Chain A
Amino acid sequence: MLNACALLKIVPTRAEPILAAVIEMPSVKKAYFCYGRFDIVVFIEAEDYKSVREISKKINLIEGVRSTETLVEA
């Protein structure tokens, strides 16, 4: 299992639907709004780097997500 952490910056008015969409994704283990430089923290457990990339891409496609910084397990 490969761990990853995605840090999202989002459009505030879209906050609730974005978090709901992210939490539904099977490989997302934990996601919550947060204080600080980012708006949402997402913890991901995936098979391999390819699937982490897929998930990161899917998250980026959610309407209202401005940017994603994905930190993948080394």
Chain B
Amino acid sequence: MVSACTLIRTERGRFDEVASRIKQIPEVKKSFPVFGRYDVVADLEAKDHNKLNDVVFKLSRMGGVVFTETLIELETEGD
């Protein structure tokens, strides 16, 4: 299981739409619009890195999404 946090900037005023559309992706455990330098934050969990890449790719191509920055979990040996 690999976690990641994706920070998303959307077109003006579309953060609610993007936040709710993102929720339909099963790997998106939680997504919410935010104040600050980003518009939406998504908490992702995927079974492996390949699946995570697919999800991030899908997110970045969604309507209204202008920019994404993904912080991928640094797996320690314990995981």
**Separation of A32 and B32 alpha carbons in the complex (Å):** 19
Q: Are B32 and A34 in contact (CB under 8 A)?
A: no
The B interface, classified by DSSP as helix, strand, loop or mixed, is strand
Residues of chain A at interface, number, CB under 8 A: 20
Chain A residue at minimal CB-CB distance from B15: A74
Whether, in the assembled complex, A26 has its beta carbon less than 8 Å from a beta carbon of chain B, the answer is no
CB contacts under 8 Å to A, within B1-60, are: 3-5, 7, 15, 30, 32-38, 41, 43
Residue of A35, A37, A41, A69 ringed by the most chain B CB atoms within 10 A = A41
Distance of A5 Cα from B4 Cα, bound (Å): 12
A72: interface (CB < 8 Å): yes
Q: Count the B residues whose beta carbon is within 8 Å of the partner chain — how many?
A: 22
- Check B73–A32 contact: CB distance below 8 A: yes
Residue A25 at the chain B interface, CB threshold 8 Å:
no
Once the chains bind, are B3 and A38 in contact (CB under 8 Å)? no
Residue interface mask A44-60, B partner, CB < 8 A = 1: 00000000000000000
Q: How far is the CB of B4 from chain A (nearest CB, A)?
A: 8
Nearest chain A CB to B69's CB is how many angstroms away? 7
Are A73 and B5 in contact, with the CB atoms below 8 A? no
